[in-house]
Chains A and B, each alone.
Chain A
Amino acid sequence: MSLDKATVASIANLARIKVPDDRLEAMVGDLNAILGFVEQLDAVDTAGVEPLASVTGHTLPQREDAITDGGYQARVTANAPESTHGFYVVPKVVE
C-alpha cells in the first residue's frame, strides 16, 4: 500500500490538520515509510487465525444501570473557552 499526495491531503483534511502544500511531499514519504514498516507483518501467514481482541483473556466489563455520575455543570464547562447559562458556546455552526 502506498499513499499519493492527494490522499495525504485528504487524510489531513479529514483529521482537521493543516498541512501546507510544500510540506505534503515530505509527509507522503514519511507516511509511506511507516506503512512499509508495518507491512512487514504481512509476511506472517495468518490464514485460519481469529483476530485477537485481548491478550489478557478479559471480557468486556459491564455496569449496572444506575445513575452514579453527572450533576456538576460547572466542572464540565470549566475548561470551555466560553460558556454561558451552563452551555458551551462555540462559533456558529449551521449546515
Chain B
Amino acid sequence: MTEPYRIQGETGEWEVVLGLEVHAQVISHAKLFSGSSTTFGAEANTQVSLVDAAMPGMLPVINRECVEQAVRTGLALKAQINLRSVFDRKNYFYADLPQGYQISQYKDPIVGEGVLLLDLPDGSTKSVGIERLHLEQDAGKSLHDQHPQKTYVDLNRSGVALMEIVSKPDLSSPEEAGLYVKKLRSILRYIGTCDGNMQEGSMRADVNVSVRKPGDPLGTRCEIKNMNSVRFIHQAIEYEARRQIEILEGGGKIDQETRLFDTGRGETRSMRSKEDAQDYRYFPDPDLLPLVLDQARVDALGAELPELPDVKKARFIADFGLSPYDAAILVEERETADWYEQLAKGRDAKIAANWLISELFGALNKAGKDLSESPVSAESLGGLVDLIGDGTISGRIAKEVFAEMFETGKAAGDIVEEKGLKQVSDTGAIEGIIDAVLAENADKVEQYRGGKDKLFGFFVGQTMKKSQGKANPGMVNDLLRQKLDG
C-alpha cells in the first residue's frame, strides 16, 4: 500500500473524494443516428446530414456498430450489459446543439455496474467501481475566436457517438484520477472502441471533487468540466481541493456547482450562476423505441474481445517472471506488448524487458519518438540481448553497442565485429592482462596481501580498463581471486 493522499489544512488533514465522468468518442464510420461521416478535421459542415442539423421532420436511426462498441466496452469493464435500454432527450439550449436537446440515456443505460483495476506505482492494484456507461450524441463545435462579435458553429461533430463512462467516487488522489484515465484509455484502445486521442478531444473527462476529514461523511462536490489531459486533471483537482478546504476552514460552505478549469491560470472558476440551475427535463425520446439486445449477440461480442491488459499483465508476470510494475508498463499499449513478446520469444524475458524499458524507452523518449518509429526493431534488439546472453559482450559494452544501433540502425553483431568489442573470455588472455596489472601495482598487491581487502575492487577496475572493457567480468573476478589469494 502507498501512503494515502492527504492535504494539510489549518485545522488538520483532509482527504479528497473523486469520481470521473469520461466522454469517449466511439470509433465508427458513421454517426450514432445518421449516415454522415465521423472523420476528424474536415471542412466545416461538410459531414452533416439533415438529421444532424435537426431539420424538421428528420428521424434518427441508430447505428448498429455504435451499439456494439458500447457493448464491447461494457464487457471489457466486466460490467452488466442491459439487454433493454432507453434513449432520452436531455434538453438545453446552446448554439452548437441544433436539436435543442441531446439524445442520451438517463434511467436505463446500455451498461450498468462494472470495475476497473488501477495499476499503482508500487506494483499493487486498486479496484475502482464503474457506475454506468451510456450512449449519447456529441454536440457541434463553437469557435469563439474567429470574429469579435460572432461565434462560428461547425456541426461536423454533431451526432457523433459518445460513450459516457461514469466511475463511482472511489478515487482518492490526483494520481489515482490520472491512472484511472490512463487505464481506461488503454482498455478502450485495446478493444478499438475509442482512439483515446485526448488532444483531438476523443476523450474528455469531467471530475467530481469533494473534500472531507478522514472518516467523515461525503462533502458537497463540485464538477470540473471538460479536461483533455492527465496533467490538467492533476492540476485542477489539486487547485479545487485547496479551494474547498479554504472555504470550509473559513467557516463557509461549498455550493454544488459546475466549474471550468482555466489552463492558463491553473485555477477553476464557476461556470454558471446559481439561479440558472440545471434542469434538463429528461424524457424518453418519442422518435426512438427502446434498444433491445440479444444475449447471444452479446456473448458473441464477448468471445471476440482480444486479450485485455489485466489478463496480459498477469500472463507476463506468470510466464516471463516480470515484476507487476514492469508488466503494467509493457501492457499499457497493445503494440508495445506485442513488440515485447516478439523480443522476449526464446530469450531471457527479464533481460529483454529491462533493455526495452530502461534503454530503448529512454532513448525513444529523448529522441521524441514512439515505439513504432524506433530505429531498433524487436529482432535487432533481440540480437543484442543474445550477444549478452551467450557472453559475447558484457552488459557495459552492450550499452555502447546499443547507442550505436539506435544511431545507425545497424545490427548488434556487425557493430561488435567492426569495432572489435567482443568480450574476452579466453583464460590465457585475461591472465596476461592481470599479470601486467599486478606487476605495475606491486605495492598495492603487497598492501592487499597485508589485509587491505578493499583493494580487490581496484584490481578489477584496472584489469577491465586495460582490456578496454572487453574482459569477461565474471572471469576477471575468478582469476584475480586465484592469483591474489591463491
Establish whether residues B289 and A59, one from each chain, have CB atoms under 8 Å apart when the complex forms: yes
Q: A62-B61, A63-B61, A71-B46 are in contact. Are A93 and B147 (CB under 8 A)?
A: no
Establish whether residues B61 and A61, one from each chain, have CB atoms under 8 Å apart when the complex forms: yes
Establish whether residues B47 and A70, one from each chain, have CB atoms under 8 Å apart when the complex forms: yes
Counting CB contacts under 8 A, is B172 at the interface? no
Chain A residues, CB < 8 A from B93: 16
Q: How many A-B residue pairs have CB under 8 A?
A: 133
Minimum Cβ distance to chain B for residue A40 (Å): 20
- Cα–Cα, bound, A53→B51 (Å): 23
Residues of chain B from 103 to 157 with CB closer than 8 A to chain A in the complex: 142-144, 146-155
Among residues of A, the one whose C-beta sits closest to the C-beta of B36 is A70
Secondary structure type dominating chain B contacts: loop
Counting CB contacts under 8 A, is B44 at the interface? yes
Establish whether residues A60 and B63, one from each chain, have CB atoms under 8 Å apart when the complex forms: no
Establish whether residues B150 and A91, one from each chain, have CB atoms under 8 Å apart when the complex forms: yes
Minimum Cβ distance to chain B for residue A21 (Å): 17
- Cα–Cα, bound, A88→B143 (Å): 10
21 sample A-B contacts, Cβ–Cβ < 8 Å, listed by A number: A10-B279, A14-B279, A54-B289, A60-B288, A65-B64, A65-B65, A66-B35, A68-B30, A69-B30, A69-B50, A70-B48, A73-B45, A77-B45, A82-B150, A87-B152, A90-B95, A90-B153, A92-B150, A93-B151, A94-B151, A95-B272
Chain B residues, CB < 8 A from A60: 62, 288-292
- Cα–Cα, bound, A38→B292 (Å): 30
Counting CB contacts under 8 A, is A23 at the interface? no
Q: Which one of A69, A71, A77, A93 has the highest number of Cβ atoms from chain B below 10 Å of its Cβ?
A: A69
Number of interface residues of B (CB under 8 A): 54
- Cα–Cα, bound, A65→B192 (Å): 15
Counting CB contacts under 8 A, is A44 at the interface? no
- Cα–Cα, bound, A86→B152 (Å): 9
Q: What is the interface residue range for chain A against chain B?
A: 35 or more
Query: B35 contacts which of A54, A63, A91, A92 (Cβ < 8 Å)?
Result: A63
- Cα–Cα, bound, A14→B153 (Å): 22
Query: B45 contacts which of A76, A91, A93 (Cβ < 8 Å)?
Result: A76
- Cα–Cα, bound, A73→B53 (Å): 11
13 new A-B contacts at CB < 8 Å, known A69-B30, A76-B155 = A14-B281, A60-B290, A61-B61, A62-B64, A64-B65, A65-B64, A67-B29, A86-B45, A87-B44, A89-B151, A89-B152, A93-B142, A94-B151
Query: A87 contacts which of B47, B154, B291 (Cβ < 8 Å)?
Result: B154
Per-residue CB proximity of A19-54 to B under 8 Å, as 1/0? Answer: 000000000000000000000000000000000011
- Cα–Cα, bound, A28→B198 (Å): 48
Per-residue CB proximity of B278-298 to A under 8 Å, as 1/0? Answer: 010100100011111000000
Query: A65 contacts which of B28, B48, B291 (Cβ < 8 Å)?
Result: B28
Establish whether residues B153 and A88, one from each chain, have CB atoms under 8 Å apart when the complex forms: yes
Query: A53 contacts which of B36, B49, B289 (Cβ < 8 Å)?
Result: B289
Instruction: Write the residues of chain B forming the contact surface with A, with a CB cutoff of 8 angstroms.
Output: 28-30, 34-37, 43-53, 61-67, 86, 91, 93-95, 142-144, 146-155, 260, 271-272, 279, 281, 284, 288-292
- Cα–Cα, bound, A76→B94 (Å): 18
Q: A62-B63, A89-B152, A90-B151 are in contact. Are A70 and B144 (CB under 8 A)?
A: no
Chain A residues, CB < 8 A from B153: 87-90
Chain A residues, CB < 8 A from B146: 87
Minimum Cβ distance to chain B for residue A9 (Å): 12
Chain B residues, CB < 8 A from A76: 45, 48, 50, 53, 155
- Cα–Cα, bound, A44→B91 (Å): 30
Counting CB contacts under 8 A, is A58 at the interface? yes
Establish whether residues A62 and B62, one from each chain, have CB atoms under 8 Å apart when the complex forms: yes
Counting CB contacts under 8 A, is A18 at the interface? no
Establish whether residues B62 and A67, one from each chain, have CB atoms under 8 Å apart when the complex forms: no
Establish whether residues B62 and A66, one from each chain, have CB atoms under 8 Å apart when the complex forms: no
- Cα–Cα, bound, A20→B310 (Å): 61
Minimum Cβ distance to chain A for residue B131 (Å): 23
Chain B residues, CB < 8 A from A84: 152
- Cα–Cα, bound, A83→B36 (Å): 21
Minimum Cβ distance to chain B for residue A58 (Å): 6
Chain B residues, CB < 8 A from A14: 91, 279, 281
Establish whether residues A92 and B149, one from each chain, have CB atoms under 8 Å apart when the complex forms: yes
Establish whether residues B49 and A70, one from each chain, have CB atoms under 8 Å apart when the complex forms: yes
Minimum Cβ distance to chain B for residue A7 (Å): 11
Chain B residues, CB < 8 A from A16: 93
- Cα–Cα, bound, A36→B86 (Å): 28
Chain B residues, CB < 8 A from A68: 30, 35
Establish whether residues A87 and B143, one from each chain, have CB atoms under 8 Å apart when the complex forms: yes
- Cα–Cα, bound, A53→B292 (Å): 12
- Cα–Cα, bound, A69→B147 (Å): 30
Among residues of B, the one whose C-beta sits closest to the C-beta of A16 is B93
Minimum Cβ distance to chain A for residue B141 (Å): 10
